[in-house]
């Protein structure tokens, strides 16, 4: 277990020294600062009376504030979710391939670590980065909205955490890909494909009727049965942010399911890694 944590720390230190963390923090901070300076919201007795973005008055009806901000929160939740996963795919695609590069992997394999510790540690390290980044961005968003409007909601933070679980599933695929073929571009590509597959899987009950009855439909349903329902999680995050009723039957089970999918993919990666020659 300490081996896993050791490798995770190794990955984190690597990220810190590559100024990766710094760049990420700067980027997110920049977005938050821009938003906080440009968004002006006029609140009267808890009702949204007027709002300005970049000085332009947004045409709004006078409604209860949290209701009026619902679309904003939903949009924020969606951006945090999908944007976060996309950013994670692109920025974290390099970690595993570089760790598995010649000269490095031999050194690591010669250490008194079980092979799967190395992969697991990489996974834990990258997920730690993802969780902290997501929390930082979402808490910043909550602060901005809270200070500007007096309305405090935990919605964006929940969306960020849901996105982290989804990213865990996506990154598991990327990591397993790296053990097969050591290429950052391929890892990113497969991460993207997993994301798209997850979005489609979330809508599987809606899409299935549009597919030809028979083998094709059964095949579609079978394949999407296994894929993580990422768009359902995104929708749940948006619903939670806007305080509308959830469209899924049981969010905890769905969340567990996506996470367990990620673990399954990791297990495949471990299996492959254990037998691989370097």
Name which of residues 176 to 215 contact another protein (CB under 8 A): 202, 205-206
CA distances, 48 to each of 14, 156, 225, 239 (Å): 46, 19, 43, 20
Question: Residue 60 in 3-state DSSP?
Answer: coil
Both tokens of 130, joined, read 């993802």
Q: Which of 29, 34, 38, 250 binds another protein (CB under 8 A)?
A: 250
DSSP classification of residue 210: G
Of the ranges 32-40, 80-88, 212-220, 259-267, which one interacts with another protein (CB under 8 A)? 259-267
- Give the position of tokens 């809606």: 206
Part of the chain binding another protein (CB under 8 A), chosen from 27-35, 129-137, 140-148, 263-271 = 263-271
Tokens describing residue 135? 């929390």
Contact between 109 and another protein per CB under 8 A = yes
Q: Which of 203, 201, 208 is nearest to 227 (CA)?
A: 201
Beta strands across the sheet bearing 39-44? 39-44, 47-53, 56-58
Q: Cβ distance 66 to 43 under 8 Å?
A: no
Residues 129-168 that bind another protein (CB under 8 A): none
Site for another protein, residues 39 to 58, rule: CB under 8 A: 44-49
Nearest to 73 by CA among 137, 133, 153, 134: 153
For 277, counting Cβ atoms within 10 Å of its Cβ (0-12 exposed, 13-18 middle, 19+ buried), the class is: exposed
Q: Which is nearer to another protein, 54 or 271 (CB)?
A: 271
| 43 backbone dihedrals φ, ψ, rounded to 5° | -120, 130
Which of 29, 38, 216, 244: binder of another protein (CB under 8 A)?
A: 244
Interface region with another protein, contact rule CB under 8 A, candidates 24-32, 135-143, 178-186, 255-263? 255-263
User: Which of 55, 214, 215, 249 lies at the binding interface for another protein (CB under 8 A)?
Assistant: 249
Say which residues have a Cβ less than 8 Å from residue 55's Cβ, sequence separation at least 6: 38
Select the span of 86-94, 132-140, 157-165, 247-255 touching another protein (CB under 8 A).
247-255
CB of 32 to another protein, least distance (A): 27
Please classify residue 209 by burial: count the beta carbons closer than 10 Å to its beta carbon, then call 0-12 exposed, 13-18 middle and 19+ buried. Answer: exposed
Q: Between residue 7 and residue 36, which ones bind another protein under the rule CB under 8 A? A: 7, 9-10, 13-14, 17-19
Candidates 34, 38, 101, 216; binder of another protein (CB under 8 A) is 101
Which residue from 104, 152, 185, 193 is in contact with another protein, where contact means CB under 8 A?
104
* Smallest separation, CB 48 to another protein (Å): 8
| Binding mask of the shown chain, residues 57 to 76, with x at each position contacting another protein by CB under 8 A | ----xxxxxxx---------
Closer residue to another protein, CB minimum distance, 102 or 214:
102
Nearer to another protein, 188 or 230 (CB): 230
CB of 212 to another protein, least distance (A): 20
Which residue, 24 or 140, is less far from another protein as judged by CB? 24
Closest CA to 78 of 209, 273, 234: 234
């Amino acid at each position: 277990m300490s081996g896993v944590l050791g490798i995770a720390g190794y990955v984190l230190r690597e990220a810190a020294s590559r100024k990766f963390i710094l760049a990420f923090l700067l980027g997110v901070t920049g977005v938050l600062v821009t938003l906080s300076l440009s968004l002006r919201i006029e609140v009267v007795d808890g009702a949204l009376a007027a709002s300005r973005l970049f000085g332009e008055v947004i045409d709004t009806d006078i409604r209860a504030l949290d209701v009026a901000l619902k679309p904003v929160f939903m949009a924020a939740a969606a951006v945090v979710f999908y944007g976060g996963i996309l950013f994670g795919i692109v920025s974290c695609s390099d970690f595993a391939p570089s760790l598995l590069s010649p000269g490095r992997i031999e050194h690591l394999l010669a250490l008194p670590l079980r092979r799967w510790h190395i992969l697991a540690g990489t996974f834990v390290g990258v997920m730690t980065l993802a969780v902290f980044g997501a929390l930082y961005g979402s808490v910043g968003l909550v602060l901005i909205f809270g200070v500007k409007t007096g309305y405090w909601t935990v919605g964006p933070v929940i969306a960020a955490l849901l996105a982290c679980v989804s990213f865990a599933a996506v990154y598991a695929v990327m990591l397993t890909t790296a053990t097969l073929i050591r290429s950052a571009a391929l890892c990113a590509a497969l991460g993207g494909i997993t994301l798209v597959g997850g979005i489609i899987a979330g809508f599987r009950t809606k899409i299935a009727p549009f597919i030809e009855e028979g083998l094709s439909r059964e095949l579609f349903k079978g394949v999407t049965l296994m894929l993580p329902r990422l768009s359902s999680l995104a929708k749940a995050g948006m619903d939670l942010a806007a305080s509308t009723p959830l469209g899924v039957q049981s969010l905890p089970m769905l969340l567990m399911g996506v996470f367990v999918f990620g673990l399954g993919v990791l297990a495949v990666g471990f299996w492959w890694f254990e037998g691989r020659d370097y």
